[in-house]
Structure 1
Amino acid sequence: MRPAEFEPICVQEAVDRYVEMVRAKALTGQFSPATAEVYCRDMAVFAELAGPGRLLDDLDGADVDAVLLAFARRPDGRRRRHDPPPAGRALQSAASQARFRRSVSVFFRYAATAGWVRLDPMRAVTVMPRQRGGLRAERRALTAEQAGGLVQAARRLAECGPAEARTGRAARRDQRTEIRDGLVVLLLATVGPRVSELTGANVEDFFVNDGRWYWRIFGKGGRTRDVPLPEAVARVLQAYLERGRPLLDRGVEPKALLLSWRGRRLARGDVQAVIDRVLARVEPSRRRAVTPHGLRHTTATHLLAAATDMDAVRRVLGHADLATLSRYRDELPGELEAAMRVHPLLKDQAPGG
């Protein structure tokens, strides 16, 4: 259907017209009464959270993200809670959050056809539904300053002594968890492996070829890739193998590279705690929470921003298809300006030439 001419209207008016259309379709049998009621209820909440007086066309992806996350934290009257949840924790069920996002998506699809918005803001929304845990903000890449702060903190942690790194838990004589924590963050931030690839790594997967350390990563679909490690990361790896990793003759996981405090293979759920411990050592002005997959985004984003060959980045991340990189490439502030400053067609020309 060809969209109508653009008609700027406020959020509340758009919602009212949309609700009227939904109810009309329910009367003709195109929508069930229950479905129509859900759409109408969700749109009333959307108007409240987005701001009823705002121009609908002014809403962008970030605004819709804020609405979706505000809904996730909105108390659900159908669910009783005896104790108040931690700040920022979702109060809506995962199913309710996914349903609300679908309602908003259908609304904007109709709004684009009706000519109320020139561009559908859902195309720029980063809050995605999850089968478990509800809506979550997409794991965005850290900026160069934030990533640099995290990498520096990881390197300092790997180089410090046990007394400096102690956080209250008694240290073990046979392993140095601070070196392990630094190595975990450095591998995630510079190589960008999947969490399963990191925790599944064995000591024998790391080898030296022609004086350079490589990591043989066993990825999805039985595919393997040999990724060279940056020298700084290789030094931390060697330190962990020589001084940080326990020498367990009868260990539970003697082949595993990354070991827990009890000497078992580090679990996937432990990786976020490791990142958070290193983040706590970053100065507040450069600190931003990040997930393991967010560090995978960070690796891809900064390698591509540095004009690294796309196929090389694909091979580092272990993607079978080059097009998949588009999902891992996040926008960085100031990158367009930086690209124009070093334009390849102008770099050899003198001013006024």
Structure 2
Amino acid sequence: MRPSDVERVTVCEAVGRYTEMIRAKAATGALAASTAEVYIRDVHTFAELAGGEGVLDDLDGADVDEVLLRFAHKPDGRRRDGGPPAGAGPRQSGSSQARFLRSLSAFFRYAAVAGWVQLNPMEAVTLRPKVRGGLRAERRALTAEQADGLVGAARGLAEAAPDPARRRDQRTELRDALIVLLLAAVGPRVSELTRADVEDFYVNGGVRYWRIFGKGGRTRDVPLPGAVARVLEVYLAEGRRALDRGREPKALLLSWRGRRLARGDVQGVIDRVLERVDPRARRGVTPHGLRHTTATHLLAAATDMDAVRRVLGHSDLSTLGRYRDELPGELEAAMRVHPLLGRDDPG
């Protein structure tokens, strides 16, 4: 589905239409009345927590994660005391959290079929229900070995000679390499990546910057690592020119038809690059997972937290906690270079 096919309805509008559909199913007996009541209550709670005036298609996995966390700490209306006091942990039971997640999954499946969202954000949600304790974050970040394999494959793809057997407008290697490198190095939201225009990339003081237009009308200027900037230059000079048919003069990333690349196509690009990675270091990953990977490895390298926040485009430092995954051996590595004791003697 191309972006032009998506109906940009607000969250409230989508919830209202979905509610009508659920009530119609209940009236015909296709859905139990008690089940319909739960679905309707949950999607209205979702609209309340997500902000009803926002456009549904603008929500990504991180936004849904935030809603799920807010729901977990929402007072339980079935109890007089509202559940545990604020700050004492989740106030909703684990079963209620899992039910709410199922309700949102059903809602977004319908939204995808109805054409209200181009990409189902539930596919990028990192919270999963557990038997006890409610929702828990699922590790999404690639390990250093896995990330190195993917980045190495992307760089190799950018340096490879074009396949003479393929038509000029089907040679997408440079574009695919650039997509993976931007996702891994900068960690943009997939919507920020596909909305990027050529003019958003500029040079200042010899450094190539990307002006990213993010959520809430906020912009951020992020410097690109040299290796990524070099691939960008080659893509603009050669790769994009091969795909350009004059239909999208501003868009950075083009499909082989010359249209702006759709959000739903980005996963396919990542999967193609993954096929070039050694199977021993290969692990499937989503665009949202690469955003987690960027945050995790920048923070593990002791990069200033506020700098990481600015790279990712978060308004609050506390949000970084959702993107910080544990890496194998990171505690041992941290203690080997303890700032108070100096680096251990390797012997």
Measured after TM superposition, the shift of residue 277 of structure 1 is 0.2
Per the alignment, do residues 154 and 349 of structure 1 end up closer, same or farther by CA in structure 2, a change over 3 Å counting?
A: closer
- Residue 176 of structure 1 contacts residue 245 of structure 1 at CA under 8 Å; is this kept in 2? no
Offset, 1:258? 0.4
Distance 1:126 1:216 in 2: 38
1:132 aligns with 2:101: no
Secondary structure of the equivalent of 1:255?
A: coil
1:132 aligned partner, one-letter code: F
Q: CA deviation at 1:249?
A: 7.6
- Structure 2: tracts of 5 or more residues without a match: 1-32, 39-67, 77-83, 85-89, 110-119, 127-138
In the other structure, the counterpart of 2:296 is: 301
Matched, 1:323 2:299: no
Deviations 1:106-141 (A, max 9, x none): 9xxxxxx9xxxxx99969x99965343597672611
Query: 1:186 aligned to 2:162?
Result: no
Partner of 2:272: 277
> Contact 1:175–1:245 at 8 Å: present in 2 too?
no
Q: Calculate percent identity across the aligned residue pairs.
A: 73
- Asked whether 1:171 is paired with 2:163, we answer no
Q: Match of 1:210?
A: 205
Partner of 1:147: 147
**Separation in structure 2 between the aligned mates of residue 256 and residue 215 of structure 1, nearest angstrom:** 14
Aligned pairs for 1:1-353 (under 5 A) are 129=102, 130=105, 131-133=107-109, 138=126, 140-163=140-163, 171-173=166-168, 176-246=171-241, 251-347=246-342
Distance 1:346 1:153, change over 3 A: same
Which has the greater radius of gyration? Answer: 1
> Cα offset for 1:172?
3.5
Q: Secondary structure at the match of 1:216?
A: strand
Decide which moves more: 233-242 or 329-338. Answer: 329-338
How far did residue 187 of structure 1 move? 0.2
Distance (Å, rounded) in 2 between the aligned partners of 1:328 and 1:183 = 23
Partners of 1:187 and 1:176 in 2: how far apart?
A: 19
| Change in 2 beyond 3 A, CA 1:286/1:258 | same
Q: Note the C-alpha offset of 1:248.
A: 7.5
Deviation at 1:246, TM superposition (A): 1.8
Pairwise CA distance, 1:268: 0.2
Change in CA separation of 1:349 and 1:143 when aligned onto 2, cut-off 3 Å = closer
Query: Cα distance 1:232–1:121, how it changes in 2: closer, same or farther (>3 A)?
Result: farther
SS of equivalent to 2:229: helix
Q: Deviation above 3 Å: which 4+ runs of structure 1?
A: 119-123, 125-131, 133-137, 247-250, 348-351
Measure, in 2, the Cα distance between the counterparts of 1:126 and 1:245. Answer: 45
Q: Distance in 2 between matches of 1:149 and 1:171?
A: 26
The offset of 1:34, in angstroms, is 6.5
Measured against aligned partners, the alpha-carbon deviations of 1:52-94 in whole angstroms (never above 9, x if no partner) come to: xxxxxxxxxxxxxxxxxxxxxxxxxxxxxxxxxxxxxxxxxxx
Q: Write the distance in 2 (CA, Å) between the matches of 1:149 and 1:278.
A: 10
Task: Report deviation, 1:283.
Answer: 0.6
Structure 1 residues 284 and 240: CA distance shift in structure 2, 3 A: same
User: Which shifted more, 251-260 or 171-180?
Assistant: 171-180
Q: CA RMSD in A?
A: 3.4
Aligned residues: 237
Secondary structure of the residue aligned to 1:204 is helix
CA distance in 2, matches of 1:293, 1:220: 15
Contact 1:175 / 1:243 at 8 angstroms: preserved in 2? no
The CA deviation at 1:171 is: 3.0
Per-residue deviation, residues 166-217 of structure 1 (Å, max 9, x unmatched): 8xxx733257410000000000011000011000000000011111100000
- How far residue 162 of structure 1 moved from its aligned partner, in angstroms, is 1.6
Structure 1 pair 273–196 and aligned structure 2 pair: CA distance change class (3 A): same
Point out where structure 1 has 5 or more consecutive residues left out of the alignment: 1-32, 39-97, 107-112, 114-118
